[in-house]
Chains A and B, each alone.
Chain A
Amino acid sequence: MGFWSVITSIIPSAIAYTIPILMGALGGLYSERSGVTNLCIEGLMLFGVFSAAATIVKLQAIPGFSFVLAIVIGILVAMAASALLSLLHAFAAINLKANQVISGTAINMLSTAVTLFLAQTITGSGNITIVRGIIRQNVPVLSKIPVIGPLFFTSTYWTTWICLLIWGLSWFLLYKTSFGLRLRACGEHPSAVASAGVNVRKMRYIGVIASGLLSGIGGACILVTYAGEYNAGSGINGLGFLAIAALIFGQWKPLGILGSTFFFGLCMTIANMGKVFPIFQSIPTGYLGMFPYIATLIALIFSSRKSAAPLASGEPF
């Protein structure tokens, strides 16, 4: 296996790993920019995985029901379910003036427990496996472009393109509209925004719910692309926390998080693809497994010192 062929199989896989982290990090971006510290991305994403899995399994069991439609409905249900769960965090953080770090941790634990509880009630075991996820396809025309084609446009999931579109729209919304300016201002100096007649609480609710919606998509993407099952035992392996790390590493900016999540996606690929590529085969599984987490720590060392965190993030208003 040549070097080039390794690259062409790593990159599409890295993109598949990147997308869920990107959605989680983008969700965190909305929430933190509006001034609510959101450490429950992990729990929200897990809830998305679970609710998408439960929905898709039920729909795919109906004879003659379109698999693609089942997946679309599954993703929408995941968004709605995660948004509902994020409301709990929003309520605690905004109305009850709770400690947002603790509330986020509570949501994470609640999500783990409730999904397992429901999975036990629905299937009788801790796992829900869907019949079929999304089939990888080559993008017509674009995949024929030399170099770029094989790297970015072959064997892609259609969710990838939708998620990238969401990322682009989010950038536009946050940086080019008055709504975005207000939302960002709520995270920097809420009293100034309030004196301009904007309802800070409402903006913060929007921020947290957006993080729920996006984490829901992220979770559903994990399920319908590479995972194919909800597994209570391993959950989502701290992917939600990787998303938060990516948010910090990306300095709370859309372009920054696109880069940092791609970096983490690449690390995740290396961790998981060790068995496939001969060049990694001599390295024990344990070392490959811990690689993304250690890489994250190192990345954080370089990026945390001059933190660009929103000033009022975590402060009740």
Chain B
Amino acid sequence: MGRERMKIQRPLEARKASPLVVSLSAVFLGIVAGCVFILCIGKNPFVGFERILFGALSNVRRIGNTLGMSTQLILIGLSVAFAFKTGLFNIGASGQMLMGGITGSILAYYLPLDMPRVIYLPIIIVASMAAGAVWGFISGFLKAKFNVHEVVSTIMLNWTAYWIVYDFIPRFIIDPTISVKSKPIDTVHTLRADWLTDLTQFSTLNYGFILAIIMCVVVWFILQKTTLGFNLKAVGSNRFCAEYAGIKVNRSIMISMAIAGALASLAGLTYYCGYSNIMEMGKMPNEGFDGIAVALLGNCSPVGIFFSAIFFGILKMGRGSLAATGIPTEIADTIIATIIYFTATNVILASFWNNIFKSRFERSEEAARLAMAKHGDDTPIASLSRKRFKEYAKEGRAYLKEGKEVR
């Protein structure tokens, strides 16, 4: 017996603001704020943004570098989003990045150089993901068992990781000539690939970008198609309801933070063993915080994260070309921070658009009524199809216009 899908027609009503519209509004407001800042120091904002686009996209190499920068942002965005779906706010991506980076760097330093890459690459990827997973798990464990707020614990773990790296660089991988940096990793032991490097004329683009795309698919699959993903999301939307339904809330919190940590540490691996190839003592990676912006702007969906990461990659890579204009490069960070501020207020942005849509709908409704009265059609508006409604509204508006002209 074939299942017949009954088509339910939703009653016709005003459109609701989609997440895309809300995100684009936040981007718009962020860019406006950036323009205001540039104007405040007496520079031309259009020149500034032109330079940013030039610096990020003007040739193959620059595009490659932008994608290389976006790689980290995609992975961290995924990490933050994954935790967010379980109702957790992971602002410890910086620390998890450092843990992944230091694990990868130490292995790259000590594993033999003639090792086949097919074996070598999986080893460093798995090892650094494990390190980050442990780092994330600590926060999840503290949250689940001791009710320690994850925002505070992840920040504390960030600084702990910072000092661990500070200690490990001189201990294991120091560059004797520059005593505050690690020795650059040999290219065969990084994530860089000859064909990618050739294709983009020696940019920083590496296998990490492909890993990031794979991870987008994996995260989408876990969240949308598996029981685990369903459980995690259930905990995120209502902890108590999920508990009542028999979902192990504490276990979900720990798993979610561990996966988030693994994703962020993969970002650290691509950053320190693919993008920059060295680690510095006493440097907290900013990308951990940018990832929050990526996740929020991308509405925590893998596709959204991919595109918003590329957008932030353009901002972060393109700012290097600002030097000649006299605009401080921090303008990019200012814009990113402003965008987060506005995405935090998404309720207001959404209701702003909803009001616009609603008043537009009401005007069309009035016009459509007029047209329907002329045609003698007395179906209620709510059960009209959108196409039919639009036709009536158009006709009605024409009548209204005529009426005005006559008057």
Which chain B residue has the least Cβ–Cβ distance from A39? B151
How far is the CB of A290 from the nearest CB of chain B, in Å? 4
A110 touches which of B151, B292, B337 (Cβ 8 Å): B337
Report yes or no: A238 in contact with B330, Cβ–Cβ below 8 A.
no
Using A105-B91, A113-B336 as known contacts, say yes or no to A287 and B151 having CB atoms under 8 A apart.
Answer: no
Report yes or no: B167 in contact with A296, Cβ–Cβ below 8 A.
no
Interface hits, B317-364 → A, CB 8 Å: 328-331, 333-334, 336-338, 340-341, 343-348
Report yes or no: B164 in contact with A286, Cβ–Cβ below 8 A.
yes
Residues of A within 8 A of B (CB): 39, 88, 92, 96-99, 101-103, 105-110, 112-114, 116-117, 120-121, 233-234, 237-238, 241, 244-245, 248, 284-287, 289-290, 293-294, 296-297, 300-301, 304-305, 307
Using A117-B37, A241-B155 as known contacts, say yes or no to A304 and B334 having CB atoms under 8 A apart.
Answer: no
**In the complex, A125→B167 CA distance in Å?**
28
Report yes or no: A102 in contact with B296, Cβ–Cβ below 8 A.
yes
**14 A–B contacts from the bound complex (CB under 8 Å):** A92-B344, A102-B292, A105-B89, A113-B336, A117-B334, A286-B167, A293-B156, A297-B148, A297-B157, A300-B148, A300-B152, A300-B156, A304-B147, A304-B148
Is residue B59 within 8 Å, beta carbon to beta carbon, of the partner chain? Answer: no
Which chain B residue has the least Cβ–Cβ distance from A294? B160
- Residues of B within 8 Å of A286, CB to CB, are 163-164, 166-168
Which chain B residue has the least Cβ–Cβ distance from A112? B333
Is residue B15 within 8 Å, beta carbon to beta carbon, of the partner chain? Answer: no
Report yes or no: A105 in contact with B328, Cβ–Cβ below 8 A.
no
**In the complex, A116→B151 CA distance in Å?**
24
- Residues of B within 8 Å of A241, CB to CB, are 152, 155-156
Is residue B149 within 8 Å, beta carbon to beta carbon, of the partner chain? Answer: yes
Residues of B within 8 A of A (CB): 37, 41, 89, 91, 142, 146-149, 151-153, 155-160, 162-164, 166-168, 282-283, 289, 292-293, 296, 328-331, 333-334, 336-338, 340-341, 343-348
How far is the CB of A288 from the nearest CB of chain B, in Å? 8
- Residues of B within 8 Å of A96, CB to CB, are 345, 347-348
Report yes or no: A301 in contact with B148, Cβ–Cβ below 8 A.
yes
Report yes or no: B142 in contact with A297, Cβ–Cβ below 8 A.
yes
- Residues of B within 8 Å of A39, CB to CB, are 151
Report yes or no: A105 in contact with B164, Cβ–Cβ below 8 A.
no
**In the complex, A96→B149 CA distance in Å?**
24
Besides A109-B336, A112-B333, A297-B156, 11 new A-B residue pairs in contact (Cβ under 8 A), listed by A number: A88-B341, A98-B344, A103-B344, A114-B330, A116-B330, A117-B333, A117-B334, A248-B149, A294-B156, A300-B156, A301-B146
**In the complex, A269→B346 CA distance in Å?**
42
Which chain A residue has the least Cβ–Cβ distance from B334? A113
- Residues of B within 8 Å of A110, CB to CB, are 334, 337-338, 341
Which secondary structure characterizes the binding site on chain B? helix
- Most central of B91, B156, B283, B338 by chain A CB within 10 Å: B156
How far is the CB of B99 from the nearest CB of chain A, in Å? 13
How far is the CB of A3 from the nearest CB of chain B, in Å? 27
**In the complex, A116→B331 CA distance in Å?**
9
**In the complex, A241→B151 CA distance in Å?**
9
Report yes or no: B142 in contact with A300, Cβ–Cβ below 8 A.
yes
Report yes or no: A98 in contact with B347, Cβ–Cβ below 8 A.
yes
**In the complex, A113→B315 CA distance in Å?**
14
- Residues of B within 8 Å of A102, CB to CB, are 89, 292, 296, 340, 343-344
- Residues of B within 8 Å of A109, CB to CB, are 289, 292-293, 333, 336-337, 340
Using A110-B338, A300-B153 as known contacts, say yes or no to A121 and B328 having CB atoms under 8 A apart.
Answer: yes
Which chain A residue has the least Cβ–Cβ distance from B296? A102
How far is the CB of A164 from the nearest CB of chain B, in Å? 25
Report yes or no: B333 in contact with A113, Cβ–Cβ below 8 A.
yes
